[in-house]
């Protein structure tokens, strides 16, 4: 009864870690498209094609439900996939919805008109592709009015995290926060709009200051997935084994993933 988790690289492991702890009896198949990472610098058509191919691979592994633990894929590909591509017996979910539910304090099934919410000034830190898509702002507008969102494209940050260069990653975080604050000096909340960024959450918080509420996705996605599977138990696929798959070099990806999560992770070729 496996569930698929997909990311362009290693960032989705932060989501996998959280959902595995929340749902210890569910086998998860993780697929990283490391061969083509990072997605954040690709155009929308590229991201769509690669995301569809990865999703099909997870369906082949027995995962009828796939979580796009990649904000770029969720932003650039998910809506198009849901509208015209996904078969009726499969589901693909993204990582924006749980975040927006938490920010607006209303459930996704609540279809009442948009209304004012407590948070009025939001900083969004994301990849260049996610920022270009404006997907977060579009989805937020269905639920809330009067929210000012200032987006900061965090170029280079994913690469630094994937390579394990935390000194460079910290410098980039502080530089991007400084750039954001020049546009929005006093944000009330900050969205870490990439699943790599939770590894740098303490640095984001320190750079933003203690008065800014920082939202990251892993635990929010885990709770949302648990609720979804309670309501849709039939979406647990026929797969029985947990595994880690990569389109890249399994040894290299395994070594980086082990450093990334600080426990041994063994990938195999997708």
What secondary structure does DSSP assign to 110-165, as a single string?
--SPPEE-S--EEEEEE-HHHHHHTHHHHHHHTTEES-EEEEEE-TTHHHHHHTT-
Q: Sheet containing 65-68: which strands, arranged edge to edge?
A: 91-93, 65-68, 3-7, 28-32, 243-246, 268-269
Residue 99: both structure tokens together: 């975040």
Question: What is the distance between the alpha carbons of residues 183 and 170, in angstroms, rounded to a whole number?
Answer: 20
Q: Kindly name the residue from 52, 63, 70, 154 that is annotated as catalytic.
A: 70
State yes or no: is 70 an active-site residue: yes
Phi and psi at 48, nearest 5°, equal -60, -50
Count of CB atoms within 10 A of residue 116's CB? 10
Phi-psi region of 105 (alpha: psi -120 to 50; beta: other; left: phi over 0): left
Task: Give me the active site residues, please.
Answer: 70, 194
């Amino acid at each position: 009864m496996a569930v698929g988790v997909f990311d362009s690289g290693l960032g989705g492991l932060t989501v996998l870690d959280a959902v595995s702890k929340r749902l210890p009896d569910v086998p998860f198949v993780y697929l990283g498209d490391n061969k083509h990472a990072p997605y954040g610098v690709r155009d929308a058509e590229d991201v769509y094609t690669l995301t569809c191919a990865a999703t099909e691979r997870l369906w082949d592994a027995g995962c009828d439900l796939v979580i796009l633990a990649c904000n770029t894929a969720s932003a650039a590909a998910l809506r198009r996939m849901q509208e015209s591509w996904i078969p009726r017996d499969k589901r693909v979910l993204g990582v924006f919805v749980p975040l927006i539910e938490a920010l607006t304090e209303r459930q996704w099934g609540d279809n009442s008109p948009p209304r004012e919410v407590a948070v009025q000034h939001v900083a969004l830190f994301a990849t260049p592709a996610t920022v270009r898509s404006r997907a977060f702002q579009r989805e937020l507008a269905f639920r809330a009015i009067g929210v000012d969102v200032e987006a900061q494209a965090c170029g280079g940050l994913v690469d630094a995290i994937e390579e394990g260069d935390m000194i460079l990653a910290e410098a980039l975080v502080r530089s991007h926060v400084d750039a954001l604050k020049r546009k929005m000096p006093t944000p009330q909340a900050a969205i870490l709009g990439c699943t790599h960024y939770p590894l740098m959450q303490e640095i984001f918080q320190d750079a933003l200051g203690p008065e800014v509420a920082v939202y990251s996705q892993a635990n929010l996605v885990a709770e949302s997935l648990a609720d979804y599977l309670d309501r849709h138990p039939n979406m647990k696929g026929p797969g029985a084994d947990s595994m880690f798959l990569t389109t890249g070099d399994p040894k290299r990806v395994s070594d980086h993933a082990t450093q990334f999560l600080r426990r041994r992770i063994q990938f195999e070729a997708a």
